[in-house]
Structure 1
Amino acid sequence: MTDPLGGRALRHRRLSPLLLPAGLLLPVLVWACDDALGVDTPEGAVAVLIEPQTLELVSFGDTVTLVATLVDAAGAPVSVGLVTWASSTPAVARVAPEEARGRVTSVGNGIAVITASTGGGLSASAVVIVAQRVSRLEIAGGGPLELGWIGAG
């Protein structure tokens, strides 16, 4: 009788004993790598709070520091775990991580949402509004110029 698979069935049987331990080991390795990165949520933490929750920056290059606090069910702070920081609109505001703090720098006009999150799925966000204001106005041309407000008066 000839082997219709040309010996491949025999090789497949030799690999099977190796696949089961590898399949069992994979979730452990993923868990260990996540833990090594330090982004797991500390035990007892149920929420992330960010202060301030809303801020307005009026010049490009302005910076402000946001603080993320992990709290338990009673609202008490728990040991600080590592949080990751992200900006929804890096063209408006960038965030640089500094452990439980995120240093936000304005780079363009608009609105950005800055989010702090843990590896355990907890997150909180702050809204950053960047509205650069005119600090000085120079007009070339020499003629008289009348300035005034248009609107409710």
Structure 2
Amino acid sequence: MKTLHDREHTVVLQTSFCPNLTNAAQTSSSVDHTRGLNARLSTQCTVPSPECQCGVACLNMQCIHGSSPVPSLADCSSLQAALVNLSPQAFLIDPQEMVTASLGTCAFNVINFSSGEIEYCLSDLGDSGNEVAIKCAGQGIDAGTCTVSFPILSVTYLNSVQ
């Protein structure tokens, strides 16, 4: 576990290994949504594509009914702002690994379903996670996910207090 600080916020970044992880379909209410991220500077990546997934749009957003309270959108917005401002931006995710960033009641995580190492950017995690949070929390739903690169990478928002 790491604690990262920007000018205003403290973000907890935690890595978990999830053996036998699969990208299984989930029962959820689907939100048809496609978005594009601003083009990322190639200098954010330390490895070439396809290993680098920085700047890849998060698609196929789904809201998932869980049993936790809906996270605070203010916490999710603060988490997004902090992740965009942190440096260095790029980080590596091993196969079957989940990286979770949390602040207050809100958490965003990214999961690597591939058989190889993936590079991702904190700003993308913040932007994608917050977009899912806004869409799902607006419907009173406590969790949601989107696919960055199917079937290898997904981003999720959820309540960090579980």
Q: TM-score, normalised by structure 1?
A: 0.22
* Rg larger for: 1
**Which protein has greater RCO, CA pairs closer than 8 Å, 6+ apart?**
2
